[in-house]
A and B are shown apart, each in its own frame.
Chain A
Amino acid sequence: MSLDFSVLLRFQEALALGLWTTVKLTLICIVLGCSLGFLVGLARTAPNAIVRGIASVYVEFFRGTPVLIQLFWIFFCLPLILGIELSNLASGVIALTLYMGAITSETFRASLKSVGREQMDACIALGLPRRVQVMNVILPLAVLRAVPTLLSNCVSLFKESALVSAVGMADLMFVGQNISNNTARPVEVLTVVALIYFAIAFPLTRAVTLVEGRILKKLAI
């Protein structure tokens, strides 16, 4: 078997477009999913049992089912139930945001727990209203403490996003598969696609570990 990576040169633009879709989808779902995850994490510590219950059911359901079936369900079933057409991107965003929300809510739940009673005492002693407690103390502390785990959640999402190719969304994976089928050069094409994913995911984990070590050390949190 002879390898010829030059076939890929013709598809640079297609791969770049696919990568852009992957990155765009990932970034949107990181922002939305982390926000959702924080709120759900907060809800899971809420005094109200009903709020806690709803949050747990959501998290357990999304953690306990394959992402692929979640994607399929939102692509094919949700439009039927709602009676509206959803664009590929919209469906992908909804599905991966819900998945990301469930995963990061667990991360936030742990970090929220670590914002101890003493910090809460200080908030009360200073008369901070609940909104200020959450926005200025609990949220930043929980986020800073969650950074390492959140980061690996984000890298996972970046990789999991390849699943949207299964429902016809033209992301990096989808483009790669197409090129592979058209050129009958799966080894070259799929290897390069894998390397592109790796080239983005790997430095990301490294870089943030570095930054995180510095920030967290400075703040001792």
Chain B
Amino acid sequence: MTSASAPLVAIRALHKSYGPHIQVLKGLDIEMKPGERVVVIGPSGGGKSTLLRVMMGLEKIDSGAVTFGGKPYISSAGPDAKTVIDTEVRRSIGMVFQHYTLFPHLSVIQNLVLAPCKVRGEKKASAMRRAQALLERFGLGAKANAFPAQLSGGQKQRVAIARALMLDPKLMLFDEVTSALDPELVAEVEQVILQLANQNMPMMIVTHDMWFARNIASRVIFCAGGVVVEDGPPEQVLGAPREERTREFIDRVFHIKQ
């Protein structure tokens, strides 16, 4: 899969439910090309976060398949079948969560080097060097030996991003990473993500921040009721949506904002 148009991610007929009655994803089909930055928007409960969790291999699926870089990644033959997840493929994907999920008993730099040392067998000294450089880049050089509880929310989230980057992911997933932050801390986190975008890091982002969505997305997907309602460039989906449901949602969101 070296051709430029070959998809990085291909999601086919993805179905996912929680228990017998709550169907969250009802046949999702999404293709993502290398270098794309996909922002997923939509009402709560529409399946956005579930989509990212499935992509990260954190959830069982009922049916459907996901391929990554042309390789089979996740599949399930049916609701009673086992969800097959290729953990090798999973390692090329990084994720940042809403609630930071830093390891509270480890210092910032220990949070960063744990996975590279334990998963890839990297030498501690080399991992520490890379970690320190990454922290400097994110303006956290002085916090290497602090514990997560001593950081602000914005700092924690930047550490979480750095931690995920330590594994050189081929795709980054951001699940409402600024939703738990105080408003004045949102920008510092978004700056870091924009920095990654400038380096062409492929990413899939779930956010409620429409300003951020417009500034970072190369493509926006509006997801509601477990299906893709609209999919296109940000100017279209956020600016002049074609679907009625998208327009209603966008109107409501911007109405609240203004």
Contact = CB atoms under 8 A, between A and B. Distances in A.
Interface of A: 118-119, 121-122, 124-129, 132, 136-137, 140-141, 144, 218-221
B227 interface: no
A125 B105 contact: no
Interface in B55-71: 56-58
Contact of B148 (A121, A140, A220): A220
A143 B49 CA distance: 32
Interface in B198-237: none
B190 to A, nearest CB: 21
Contacts of B97: 118, 121-122, 125
B91 interface: yes
Contact of B105 (A124, A129, A221): A221
A122 B94 contact: no
Given A126-B167, A127-B87, A219 B104 contact: yes
Given A125-B164, A137-B103, 7 more contacts: A121-B58, A124-B90, A126-B167, A127-B119, A129-B119, A132-B118, A220-B149
Contact of B58 (A124, A132, A140): A124
A119 B105 contact: no
B39 interface: no
A132 B91 CA distance: 15
B105 A141 contact: yes
B57 A124 contact: yes
A216 B211 CA distance: 39
A125 B148 contact: no
A140 B104 CA distance: 10
Contacts, number: 69
Interface in B85-123: 87, 90-91, 93-95, 97, 99, 101-105, 114-115, 118-119
B147 A125 contact: no
B123 to A, nearest CB: 17
The 5 A-B pairs with the shortest beta carbon distances in the complex, nearest first, are: A220-B149, A122-B101, A126-B115, A125-B95, A127-B91
Contacts of B104: 141, 219-221
A32 B115 CA distance: 30
Contacts of A220: 104, 147-149
Nearest to A137: B103
Nearest to B57: A124
B15 interface: no
B48 interface: no
Contact of B118 (A118, A136, A140, A219): A136
B114 to A, nearest CB: 6
A121 B149 CA distance: 19
B36 to A, nearest CB: 21
B163 interface: yes
A144 B105 CA distance: 8
Contacts of B148: 219-220
Contact of B114 (A124, A125, A126, A221): A126
Interface in B132-188: 147-150, 163-164, 167
A151 B200 CA distance: 52
Contact of A122 (B93, B103, B119, B147): B103
Contacts of A137: 103
6 contacts: A121-B58, A124-B57, A128-B115, A136-B118, A140-B105, A144-B105
Contact of B94 (A125, A128, A221): A125
B86 to A, nearest CB: 12
Contacts of B94: 125
B119 A118 contact: no
A128 B119 contact: yes
Nearest to A143: B105
B110 to A, nearest CB: 9
Contacts of A118: 97, 99, 101
B68 to A, nearest CB: 14
Contacts of A126: 114-115, 119, 163-164, 167
Contacts of A221: 104-105, 149
